Chain A
Amino acid sequence: MTGHALPLRSRLAAKGLDGVTLMAVPAAIFLIALFIYPFGYGLWLSFKPKDGGWFLANYVKFFSDPFLYDTIYTTLALAFPVTIVNLLFAVPVAFRVRLMKHQRLLTTILVLPITLGTVLVAEGMLNYFGPQGWFIRTLVSTGLFSPGQIKLVNNYWGVFISLVITGFPFTFLLTLSYVSGIDPALEQAAATLGARSAARFRHIFLPLLMPGLAITFCLSFVQAYSVLPSAVLLGAPAGPTRVISIAAYQAAFEQYDRPMASAIAMIMGFVQFAVVVAALSLRNLFYRGPAAGAKG
């Protein structure tokens, strides 16, 4: 504007606050309004039980009703093994694929289940892994199994398989991006000094990969922990696969008890947060430093 505004303007500009910086304001306001505020509101609401009473009543109710608190364990019992299985498969495959010249076809195929999403995978699995589906038919035709002996949908394994089908590509593509970020010169140096492939993996790659794997674990776990559609469609949502997001959904949209739903969502967020913190602090026990072998 005029004389007075200018010095302030240049002082702010010196700190990096000028017209360009202001362009970040709409995005910041948007996310504060639709991400931070709902979280805060949800937390506040969870302390205001629908039927009145003590401010912790919702949490007390959750932790005293096995139908509710068991969902934590049910979800962990799915999310943990799935994440571990996905990681255990993703690492060796990523190490093979890293050497491939034409990775694009494979990565394109693997991006399919992520893009199509859990709902479509669930519908496909009901056909394919169902009692009359091609998978069971193939197993029965080998003569090793009798019809009806194995059941792969509407139980724990249905949800497990669906989480592998959508989760493995995610874990793999993340791992691959970390593995390809490691300078091949480091491996060549180790090989020159006589380290065999297993030793190279254990002493060179694994320590360099650990931070990336910890983050991959966290992201994969958090995704598996918030499973909703496949737990309903492919699982037994009243019993063995009644995961915590089903409990939260039912509280919000079937009982219309929004404070309780918020409390369950907060508990879900807290469990995820606790596992992530645990995984990341384990990571700190390992090597931390550059994975690119350039001169530092």
Chain B
Amino acid sequence: MSTAVLDTPSAAPATPATMRSVGSRLWIIAVWTTMIFFIVNLFGIIAAVVTSSFATRWLRSWLPQGWTTKWYFSAWAEFQLTEVLVVTFQIVGAVVLLSGLIGVPAAYALARREFPGKKALMLLFLLPLLVPPVTFGIPLATVLYQSGLGGTMWGVILANLVPTVPFVILVMIPFIEQIDPRVEAAARVFGAGTLRMFVHVLLPLLMPGILAALLLVLVRTIAMFELTFLTAGPTSQTLVVALYYAVFAAGVRAVQSIDAMAVVYMVTTLIWLVIALRFVNPTQMVTRAKRPSH
């Protein structure tokens, strides 16, 4: 392949065709081998956590000496997982609800109207998605702590809304744009105000898009470590932050206990991921896609 890359277009036809096909076949094999290597290791990482969480004792061997489920019970008690899960779902639920309530109307305004300052507004909604959470999380945590919200559940919710509100807006804009404006015009002709038209006409039409956007918000918020870590206090930790502290203090507890907690986290996240993937394309997890749903 290295010779083929160096070819200029004029020199290309001169190279023997047989050599090229061997080269490109090797190239294809190399690409897929790398990919398979990556996926095998990825599954190895996940399988190692699951195996360890069911292990009685696992030292210096390929597989544990025996199997047990006792670590799940001890992890549940040690890490107070009931409370942590309740807090996690309260925070995630509030973030999902509020980002929908704030984001969808804003997306509608941006999709339907041209007004002075729209470009600046779009930039305002794009920036929190481009700037990484740690960079804006530290000044944000400072402000939240100074206003007394730091360490509380509301502080965590507000911090998590900073990237999710723009996310909902950017996912919803193309979805709203594809709805025929004449539907809204008809509603207005029959005397519906903005609010009534929104609730009775648009919301039902937008439901699939809203559902997809909010499920993505849900999955992202469960896994959002940085912002929650920087703003949470002892009573407002989500599962991922509690897991971080457990791994950080490894040695205090049994490894299997931490791994059991990791599996609980993994299951919590993956259930929602599976549900979300029924409505969205996996690439939408990163690209804030152009197509609403699949």
Contact = CB atoms under 8 A, between A and B. Distances in A.
A41 B135 contact: no
Nearest to B224: A117
B102 A27 contact: yes
Interface stretch (B31-39, B75-83, B85-93, B205-213): B31-39
Contact of A262 (B139, B193, B255): B139
A199 interface: yes
Contacts of A54: none
Interface SS of chain A: helix, strand, loop or mixed?
Answer: helix
Given A21-B109, A107-B281, A127 B140 contact: no
A13 to B, nearest CB: 10
Interface string B26-57: 01100110110011011011101100100000
Contacts of A274: none
Contact of B28 (A24, A26, A96, A264): A96
Contact of B287 (A126, A133, A174): A174
A172 to B, nearest CB: 9
Interface in A179-224: 194-199, 202-203, 219, 222-223
Contact of B138 (A173, A176, A233, A261): A261
Given A116-B269, A233-B244, A265 B139 contact: yes
Given A197-B24, A233-B244, A258-B142, A27 B41 contact: no
Interface stretch (A1-9, A30-38, A59-67): A30-38
B106 A168 contact: no
A119 B243 contact: yes
Q: Give the most central of A104, A110, A121: most B CB within 10 Å.
A: A110
How large, as a class, is the contact surface on chain A? Answer: 35 or more
Interface string B144-174: 0100000000000011011001100100000
B285 A127 contact: no
Given A28-B106, A38-B140, A115-B273, A272 B132 contact: yes
Interface residues of B, number: 101
Interface in B229-283: 229-230, 240, 243-244, 247-248, 250, 255, 258-259, 262, 265-266, 269-270, 273, 277, 281-283
A274 to B, nearest CB: 13
A126 B34 CA distance: 22
Given A38-B136, A262-B139, 5 more contacts: A26-B106, A34-B159, A173-B285, A203-B9, A265-B139
20 contacts: A24-B121, A27-B105, A31-B165, A34-B143, A41-B142, A96-B28, A104-B282, A108-B277, A120-B49, A129-B45, A134-B48, A170-B286, A177-B287, A196-B12, A196-B13, A196-B20, A198-B12, A203-B9, A226-B132, A249-B138
Interface of A: 15-24, 26-28, 30-32, 34-39, 41-42, 45, 89, 92-93, 96, 104, 106-129, 132-135, 137, 165, 168-170, 173-174, 176-177, 194-199, 202-203, 219, 222-223, 225-226, 228-229, 232-233, 245, 248-249, 252, 258, 261-262, 264-265, 268-269, 272
